[in-house]
Amino acid sequence: MPTITTKRVYEPIDKSKGVRVLVDRVWPRGISKEKLQAEHWLKDVAPSSELRKWFNHDPKRWEEFKHRYWEELQNKPELISFLLALTEEQGLVLLYSARDTEHNQAVALQEYLLTQQQHPTTSIT
């Protein structure tokens, strides 16, 4: 079964894991398109600028950030469907540039996508 993984953009590339999709709103510093080798850049699936700035990668705000971000994702069904289709076809690698590997939008998006795979009609409120 294809998987959904997360990977920091500065780590070595392993294309065997699936389609590489950058999920940052802003292009990562110091990385060229050639070096990143992402098949897609879905900046619209990233958290809103307001939410991203509010979160500021503060682990104390992690649970509330996820809740708010998942609410935003519910308003983007076409992007979620696209990501789930990629997952089913080839697997998915969500690329991000944050230093914190546990508290970032790619990890929250991965969790959201996994819940949608298991319960496609579930709404998070």
Task: Give the residue-averaged pLDDT of 77-83.
Answer: 96
Q: Is the pLDDT of residue 36 over 90?
A: yes
- The total number of structural domains in the chain stands at 1
Task: Check if the beta carbon of residue 117 is closer than 8 Å to that of residue 92.
Answer: no
Range of the domain at 95: 4-118
Domain assignment present for 100: yes
pTM for the full predicted model = 0.91
pLDDT at residue 121, as a whole number: 54
Q: What percent of the chain has pLDDT over 90?
A: 84
Task: Check if the beta carbon of residue 37 is closer than 8 Å to that of residue 110.
Answer: no
Domain assignment present for 105: yes
Domain assignment present for 124: no
pLDDT at residue 125, as a whole number: 45
Domain assignment present for 125: no
Task: Give the residue-averaged pLDDT of 70-81.
Answer: 96
Task: Give the residue-averaged pLDDT of 34-60.
Answer: 96
d(CA 61, CA 16): 34
SS3 32: coil
Domain assignment present for 77: yes
Domain assignment present for 8: yes
What's the mean per-residue pLDDT of the chain? 92
Task: Check if the beta carbon of residue 85 is closer than 8 Å to that of residue 32.
Answer: no
Give the dihedral of Cα atoms 96, 60, 62, 6; nearest 10 deg: 30
